[in-house]
């Protein structure tokens, strides 16, 4: 797998250490690569009102947007796994973004005019699955449907 993939999965694993997931005990980390080479990360933030929980990818993309760089998104790495007794993510099976996160990533993809690469890994191991956002969310509804480019 590419250096880009390896770098983003490593950053996502680091981010997952900060997951707030006391309800599901499933830690997720996400790392977004921007066109200047910088990486912005996020981790899932669960809430006592379960439905208000935020996914790692959404947290990362929101952080990118908050710094005014939604148009600079190139790729995203995602990892996740059940937490052990010490709170560390476990497992090597790649985790793919949920449906809502695919839509959130699509906002960045369309604003940046890139078919964003999505690298999916587990908490451990060398297996990284590579997708494009358009493969994960074909024929997406997005900004252009509302006249935004």
Binders of ligand THU among residues 44 to 73 (CB under 6 A) are 44, 46, 53, 55-57
Give the Cβ contact number of residue 136 at 10 Å. 18
Cα–Cα dist 46/54, whole Å: 6
Which of the stretches 22-30, 109-117, 119-127, 135-143 binds ligand THU when contact is defined by CB under 6 A?
Answer: 22-30
Minimum CB distance to ligand THU, residue 6 (Å): 20
Q: Does 104 bind ligand THU (CB under 6 A)?
A: no
Whats the size of the chain, residue-wise? 149
- Structural contact between residues 107 and 142, judged by C-beta atoms closer than 8 angstroms: yes
Minimum CB distance to ligand THU, residue 64 (Å): 16
Q: Does 98 bind ligand THU (CB under 6 A)?
A: yes
CB contact set of 81 (below 8 Å; sequence gap of 6+):
16, 26, 27, 89, 90, 91, 93, 95, 122, 123, 124
Cα–Cα dist 117/106, whole Å: 11
Q: Judged by CB, which is closer to ligand THU: 52, or 146?
A: 52
Minimum CB distance to ligand THU, residue 147 (Å): 29
Tell me the torsion sign for CA atoms 18, 84, 100, 73.
positive
User: Which one of the listed residues 4, 57, 93, 107 is annotated catalytic?
Assistant: 57
Q: Does 77 bind ligand THU (CB under 6 A)?
A: no
Footprint of ligand THU on this chain (CB under 6 A)? 21, 24, 26, 28, 44, 46, 53, 55-57, 97-98, 101
Active site residues: 57
């Amino acid at each position: 797998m590419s250096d880009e993939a390896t770098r983003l999965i490593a950053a996502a694993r680091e981010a997952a250490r900060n997951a707030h997931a006391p309800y599901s005990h499933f830690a997720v980390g996400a790392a977004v690569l921007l066109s200047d080479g910088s990486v912005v990360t996020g981790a899932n933030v669960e809430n006592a009102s379960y439905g208000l929980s935020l996914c790692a990818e959404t947290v990362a993309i929101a952080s990118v947007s908050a710094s005014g760089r939604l148009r600079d998104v190139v790729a995203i790495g995602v990892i996740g796994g059940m937490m052990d007794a010490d709170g560390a993510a476990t497992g090597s099976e790649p985790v793919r973004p949920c449906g809502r996160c695919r839509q959130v990533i699509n906002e960045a993809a369309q604003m940046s005019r890139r078919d964003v690469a999505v690298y999916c890994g587990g908490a451990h191991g060398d297996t990284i699955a590579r997708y494009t956002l358009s493969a994960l969310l074909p024929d997406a509804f997005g900004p252009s449907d509302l006249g935004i480019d």
